A and B are shown apart, each in its own frame.
Chain A
Amino acid sequence: MSDAAKPKADPRAKIGARLKEFQKSEVERILSTCTQCGKCFDVCPMARYSKAPATDGRQVVPGVLAVLRGEQGSPAALGWITACMRSGVCVPACPDNVDPRMMMRLARMTALGGREQPKQLEPKEDPDYFDRIRAFGRLQLTDEELKDWT
């Protein structure tokens, strides 16, 4: 096939590629390190706000790892993923240095469909998010400040 006949690579494919590569390596690290002891869940101050509350982290964490593998997460896992607010108390509680805060963040991105896996949670994106910020800035800063600072 001549060069002219080759399909052109989509330049957009490069966008975010390095971030995705990093995330993939982190997912692999977490999946190979986590022993599913559940201590991260047990110390989490947000677990009680889950829509599918559970009492034993050992029953919840496997569902989180399933999400990271691109498989369907359990209701308890998805409820915990939704409630996670990055308190970070799970990090020192983990005996295996998994970094459960990172685990939950990646699980959230995955469940929301952000990592090119099927959506398991519906993103609640605010379509006005950035326009609202710009509008409040417009009311608060001078034209010159907006030009130089944003």
Chain B
Amino acid sequence: MSNAVTEAVTFWYGCNVLRHGDIIHGCLDILRALGFNAAPVGGPDYCCGTVKDSNQTTAGGMATRTVGRLNARERRVVAWCPSCHSHMHDFMERANERRFEITYLVELLHMNRDRLAPLLVHPVPMRVVLHQHVGFNEFVPVNRMVPELLRMIPGVEVVDHGYLAPGYMCASFAAVPAALRDIHHNTATAARAGKADAVVTTFHQCYREIIGLDAAGVVPVYNYIHLLSQSMGLSYRDEYKEWKRAGEGATELIGAERIAQVGMQFYERAMLPELKSRPKL
């Protein structure tokens, strides 16, 4: 399942999606199947700096470093993370010379949907609601494009539900817990009202939050990359979902040997609470 390589690109996946190796692999395999020779870069060493609002010296240093590293690669950048993509346009490129073209992944897939369509051969019988936010659409109209991509998958039915969460993605909402509760509640309500089999997210930040509904037994949750991959016959193990569903049992699933690589103390303090947390509905 591969087209001739047409373009070498840098796949700038961001930081937090490192929780979801399956999503990174899915994106890479989809890009390669479309003929893009995608080289992934990301993690804290390629951070855009958007998380450093309280220290613009650090944020500025991160922005300069990351733009410089991406410039040095001398090829188009395909961005995965909506925070990185918007921060690039709002701040990074305003203070640093950007010498590469940047395209958001949804936009690239949408532009290449004629080549994507024949690859979507396996039916995915699923009635879904897409979890959407108000924001980010001024950069890329994801609320229009992602349903159009999902509807190309045989068997997928996207329910129009009319609920748009505030903000542009879920991650920062921990600082406003009442709003996060409403997002969980309204997303679950939209899924029930639409008689949906699943909720699908566009961004990994939302996947990480909304997957709590899956772990709580409310409704299964996927990212749109999962559905595209499945229809292309690509298979990955979504370990984050397994761990999240297991909660306390994640420790056994991950296993002592792997946990030792990050340190049991750190795992129990900084990772396990996230896996155990459930939405307050």
With CB as the reference atom, state the residue of chain A lying closest to B41: A149
Query: Is there an interface contact between A18 and B95, defined as CB atoms closer than 8 Å?
Result: yes
Of the listed stretches A57-65, A66-74, A101-109, chain B binds A101-109
The digit string for A72-88, where 1 denotes a CB below 8 A from any CB of B, is 00000000001101111
Query: Is there an interface contact between A20 and B60, defined as CB atoms closer than 8 Å?
Result: yes
A-B pairs under 8 A by CB, number: 164
> Which of A45, A123, A124, A140 touches B21 (beta carbons < 8 Å)?
A140
* Interface residues on chain B, size class: 35 or more
Min CB–CB distance B240 → chain A (angstroms) = 8
The complex places the Cα of A12 from the Cα of B54 at a distance, in Å, of 17
> Could you say which residues of chain B place their CB within 8 Å of the CB of A105?
53, 90
> Could you say which residues of chain A place their CB within 8 Å of the CB of B24?
141, 149
Any chain A CB within 8 A of the CB of B109? Answer: no
Query: Is there an interface contact between A150 and B167, defined as CB atoms closer than 8 Å?
Result: no
Query: Is there an interface contact between B271 and A149, defined as CB atoms closer than 8 Å?
Result: no
Min CB–CB distance B50 → chain A (angstroms) = 10
Query: Is there an interface contact between B135 and A114, defined as CB atoms closer than 8 Å?
Result: no
Query: Is there an interface contact between B96 and A136, defined as CB atoms closer than 8 Å?
Result: no
Any chain B CB within 8 A of the CB of A3? Answer: no
Of the listed stretches B110-118, B147-155, B220-228, B261-269, chain A binds B261-269
Any chain B CB within 8 A of the CB of A29? Answer: no
B157-180 residues at the A interface, CB under 8 angstroms: 166-168, 172-173, 175-176, 178-179
Query: Is there an interface contact between A83 and B21, defined as CB atoms closer than 8 Å?
Result: no
Query: Is there an interface contact between B43 and A88, defined as CB atoms closer than 8 Å?
Result: no
Any chain B CB within 8 A of the CB of A131? Answer: yes
The complex places the Cα of A113 from the Cα of B64 at a distance, in Å, of 21
Min CB–CB distance A51 → chain B (angstroms) = 9
> Could you say which residues of chain A place their CB within 8 Å of the CB of B40?
148-149
The complex places the Cα of A52 from the Cα of B94 at a distance, in Å, of 33
The digit string for A111-128, where 1 denotes a CB below 8 A from any CB of B, is 011111000000111001
Query: Is there an interface contact between A133 and B43, defined as CB atoms closer than 8 Å?
Result: yes
B62-78 residues at the A interface, CB under 8 angstroms: 63-64
> Could you say which residues of chain B place their CB within 8 Å of the CB of A89?
134-135
- Which has the most chain A C-beta neighbours within 10 Å: B22, B47, B94, B166? B166
> Which of B19, B21, B51, B56 touches A16 (beta carbons < 8 Å)?
B56
Min CB–CB distance B184 → chain A (angstroms) = 14
Query: Is there an interface contact between B172 and A114, defined as CB atoms closer than 8 Å?
Result: no
Query: Is there an interface contact between A19 and B179, defined as CB atoms closer than 8 Å?
Result: no
Query: Is there an interface contact between A86 and B178, defined as CB atoms closer than 8 Å?
Result: no
The complex places the Cα of A116 from the Cα of B58 at a distance, in Å, of 12
- A20-B56, A114-B56, A140-B19 as given contacts; A135 in contact with B178, CB under 8 Å: no
- A85-B166, A139-B258, A140-B239 as given contacts; A134 in contact with B43, CB under 8 Å: yes
Query: Is there an interface contact between B59 and A19, defined as CB atoms closer than 8 Å?
Result: yes
Query: Is there an interface contact between A88 and B168, defined as CB atoms closer than 8 Å?
Result: yes
Query: Is there an interface contact between A138 and B52, defined as CB atoms closer than 8 Å?
Result: no
Any chain A CB within 8 A of the CB of B20? Answer: yes
Min CB–CB distance A66 → chain B (angstroms) = 18
Min CB–CB distance B40 → chain A (angstroms) = 5
Query: Is there an interface contact between B167 and A85, defined as CB atoms closer than 8 Å?
Result: yes
Query: Is there an interface contact between B166 and A45, defined as CB atoms closer than 8 Å?
Result: yes
> Could you say which residues of chain B place their CB within 8 Å of the CB of A134?
18, 43-44
- Which has the most chain A C-beta neighbours within 10 Å: B21, B47, B138? B21
Query: Is there an interface contact between B15 and A87, defined as CB atoms closer than 8 Å?
Result: no
Using CB atoms and an 8 Å cutoff, list the residues of chain A in contact with chain B: 12, 15-23, 45-46, 49, 82-83, 85-89, 91, 102, 105, 108-109, 112-116, 123-125, 128-141, 145, 148-150
A–B pairs, 9, beta carbons within 8 Å: A16-B64, A49-B178, A85-B172, A87-B135, A88-B138, A105-B53, A134-B43, A134-B44, A136-B18
